[in-house]
Structure 1
Amino acid sequence: MAKKTATVSQDASKSCKGAVGGAHSAASDAVSDNAQHGAEAHSSHDGGASPAVSVIIPVYNVQRYLRECLESVLAQTLRGIEVLCVNDGSTDSSLSIMREYEARDPRVRVVDKPNGGYGHSVNRGLSEARGEYVAVVEPDDFIAPDMLADLYAAAFGEGVSRKRMKVRVDRDHPADIVKSSYWNYYDLEDGSDPYIEPSNLMNKMPDVPFSFTVHTHWEVLYHHPSIWSAIYRRAFLEERGIRMIEPKGAGWADNPFFFETLCQAQSIVWMPGAYYHYRQTNPHASSYLKDFHLPFDRLRDIRALLDRIGERDPHVLVCFYNRTFSYIKSVLEKFGFPESDPEVFGLIKEALAAMDPEVLYGAKRGIRRDQIEYYEDVMGVLAERVKPRAAAGSPRVSVVVSMKDVRPYVWGCLDSLAKQAHKSLEVICVDCASSDRTRDVASYFPGRDKRFSVIEAGEVSIPQGFAAGLARARGEVVYFADPRNAFGKKFLAKIVRALDACPRADMVVFGKKLAYLDAVDVPEKNGVEVEAAGMRDRLMLAAPNGVASKAFRRGFIQGAGLAFDAEENAGCTLFSTKAIAAANRVALMNGCAPKRQSYRSVRSPLAYIEKRPALAEARSAVFGKLREFEGSQHNKEVARGIHCYIVEAMLADLSEMGDLEDERRYFELLKGTFGNMKSALNLPSAHFINAESYRKLQRLASMSYEQYLRRETVASRDKARVMSESTAYRIGTAIAAFGPRLLPKGIAMRVRKMV
């Protein structure tokens, strides 16, 4: 399965739902017992007046979730707590709910005040708090019953091995902060069960308790602020004068607080358990950005803070720079603000200009290549990397790149084309009304490398962009490039060599290893020429990813009257199918394929859910176009190739299914497409080249969505179990662990770097 999730039962939701954080071990129970002892001792020391932990809940119009939150806090196994509900001028029934709990539980105190924003509410709670430690719980979230007990015990070193203490933590030296992980929590309105997903913090931090500072272990600074998955020693906050900033609304006020507390803390304890359930599906939550100024305002606040406290540790600064890139990416991708907006771009440039280039370029980890590339783009450095080259008088190859909103990829694509060993080329970049800086980055090339040109096609589809570029092409050979790909230095040289070796071929089909062509000995250096008739079906499956795995003689495209359909998919599967149907002879070549560029996209969970039905409809439309073309051909080979392609494409889609309701509809839509094709054709499995895949799809078509999920889950688990129990796996693990110890130190270091 593409997504690993844990489902939360409805029964669990009735009693705090905290149990879904995972079964805590007996060791955790022992820690909780020690916490109770410590909390009671602390209370008795103050005559019962001072609680162990003050829980601050800043509340504004969250009546839907507030009871669940309060029930989870009041269900804590740690007895010595106080609960400060700070009402921030709510206009719904939130205040009456808080008053209800205050009346029935003496641990609850309600502070009612006019609306002042999230930071103002937390600060008011801090001024009212009496606990030794303070915690913040947001009112639309909830916590596991043992969260505060475990964190409070860890503050005094309980459960933390002395060997893992980078700084001293004990009864005489309690931790300034105890930090834990959290779950991302999803409860959809369609009646399906809630589910949880692990946070990045959970995956990246050690799975054992230990003490540290951000100068000895800075990993924690890379991740979500999650200030609520921690407790803070109140005296530490008072001594350092730490408070939240107070912007209007939520205003991401937790971000500067996150940096200030962690950077100033002299001792931090990490507890690997996930206790906090961070709701991702509240549309009114502060995580849904409405004003693009907010992230940039908070970045200014953090920069000012780091300057004020004199923080110059390169590791800390790299973490902050990484966060800067992350916020920029979220503004553009997750929340959809256009990079073409001058004000947005101005704020981006301001944030990047404040970085120290020596720290940025000197980072050994934490800063990715695409981030450096983006920095150089915005700061005007990237254009200088393009090497000056003269235009080719009569280019042998025309590369057409149709682009729309692919700024993270376009530099890597065009730079790899500029560095091709085959120099007789032209690169025609067609921008299809991008809303980001795709066109700006592409425009760096024509100014210095005259083989490049950029044209604006307006609001057109990617296939229409290819058509516009084809109309400008002058080369004998045409290649339609996906801008998300990069190309090896000899990529175009291999294509030209294959067509030179096959002078009668209309086109070349290539890949790392072409499939379904066992009867043909396909070389890796020079192409082999075959008659298309008799194997068109297999050619359609040999490299099924549209035009990206094919190059064409321009004269063949013109002579066959091939044209791009405005409504086909971006990979131009229909154009590719038409070309194979029209070709007389085809060159085949192994060992040549573009490389997909890696890029970590940021998606809003709700945006992802909304996008799935559109993807399903687009796939269904492609299938319809192919079936229409099949009907116009009256060619059994073409029909067979199209049928097999549809089967393979549906299986590829099904392999990416998850358990969201919209994806359920996607599953049913693809089943319907298969059912329509099957009933219309009524063909035996022998008709299909990939008969095993066809039979698999037949089985899946007979299943319900729930059956499919269970089947895939069991199959994945069994596969993992078989692999982990295999002799090869055990031997490989042993070699990986102990092999370097047997090598001389210098060689061992080189091996580790290679791995």
Structure 2
Amino acid sequence: MEHNRPAVSVIIPVYMVEDYLRECLDSAVKQTLSNIEIICVDDGSPDSSAQIVEEYASKHSTVRLIRKENGGQSSARNMGLDVARGEYVYFLDSDDYLDLNTLEELYTRAEADKLDILCFNCVPFFESDKIKNDNQNFIDYYDRKGDYSGIHSGPVMFSKMRPNREFFASVCLQLIRRELIESACLRFFEGIIHEDNLFSFQCMMLAQRVSYVRKSYYHRRVRGESTMTASQSMKNVQGYIVAYAEMIAFMRNRQLEPEVAEHVSEYLFNSIFGNARRIFYSLDIPSEQAVLDKGDFCAAHFLDMIKRSGETEFERSYIKSENASLRSRLKTVEDEYRTSVAYRVGNVLTFVPRMAVLAVRGVKRHGLSYGLRAMKLRAKQKLGGSAPLVSIIMPVYNVEEFLEQGLDTLLQQTLKRIEIICVDDGSTDRSLEILNEYAARDSRVKVFTQQNQYAGAARNLGLSHAKGEYVVFLDSDDFFAKGLAEQAYTAAKLADADIVLYGAKHYNNKTGEYKDAKWLLNTAIAPKKQPFSYKDCPEHIFRITSPCPWTKMFRREFVEKSGLQFQHTQNSNDLFFTLSALAM
């Protein structure tokens, strides 16, 4: 482990828990593992919660308080992740507590076995006898009974736990390697409840080494107003629907063994979607209508659910209702559904109808009204043929030391319909040989050569061969996060944008540490509306982003019609291209 790096980052979202917080913090600061950091993110608490954390921070150097405006538990956890430095991360809810030896025992086991995730159990405790009597099913709910010994990949461990209904989504019951989260750019989905379902599922599907210890380290408080005992509401329905749609999008084109894929399919439809259906039918009619009025997003998903499960109550209640506009809206979705195909190709999990697949990453900005356009975008990414959606252009010159890392991250992109155009600029080392090796292994890699004319000319040559709808640029000594192409392309299509801006981090090859590079993307001064142009912020359009081409995705048609080219100079050959594009 790197020098001075915490073994574990404990992330505690804090909101209005003054009555319980001290018990939680005591269990954290008294851990027998001393090499930890405790990151408490106060989510705009109106009570004395933040003051209590400050008190602990003044006495314990491991405790850190971060304040933010109220944005929900997901946003608080995400802020904690953004500053976490530990080798592993652990999420602790602020009204619960841990056994004092928890982190030492978990970290020792995880480090010894080089685990990505270590799962464990929980024992609930109840605020009153009445609450206990009302929640008898929670008494031993989190005590797994199955045999999950050994080390397995995440999907295999999932397939072992799921048949026994012992895959628990709570992130409080997992110690997770931070690199697993950061390498996939994972964060909690903001603006919904049941965010744990999505985050835990994504982590498990990505993990290579997962193990389980049958011990109940975690003590979960069951109180009347907590999430798991609250009355079922519209937010529950919406949360499950978003989680369902995001899980489907996440699993698209991921290779799984047939048995594992079957368990994943069953979990998504019967558990996640099934919960949405069960809660939806428990609501009164006005509440049901309110869910549907959120937009085609909900309507399409519920119609898909009913068609797949063979039920007709939804149609009787709504399609045949007196609400003509709603009936018309659902009929449109139904017609689209009937032209869809539910299918599975080989052992690739692609089992859902095209109309059920949604790009919902904009919920926190746009609400739930993404509608049919977003669904069709997901369908295009999956079913629309073999032509590349994104061309990744990489100028290459004497970078044999770093080249393979960059190429590996491109081949691992979650968006598979890409082409990787590598232009060797007269390298004198093994760079061209490495490129040809990768091209022989993967047909998406295309290699072109030129005499040494610098990166600008190499990018222009790459552009002349590009066939993707959008293009991105990567310097050959850098690398992309695995989800970059998919996330940027989705954002571009949903906003119908010519350019998508994104940030980057500095990476230290010696220490393996990442550092923020906030100058590459200044969201604080960007217009709130999406998309925007220089006319919306003429005084600082060039301050929002840097001139670097590798923090932007461009629509290829826009580049070609604008006649944009990189300059044939050794240095600063990207200034004219990027600044001109931003000003158009």
**Bucket of the pairwise TM-score, normalised by the shorter protein:** 0.3 to 0.5
For the pair shown, which has the larger CA radius of gyration, 1 or 2?
1
Give TM-score scaled by structure 2 length: 0.46
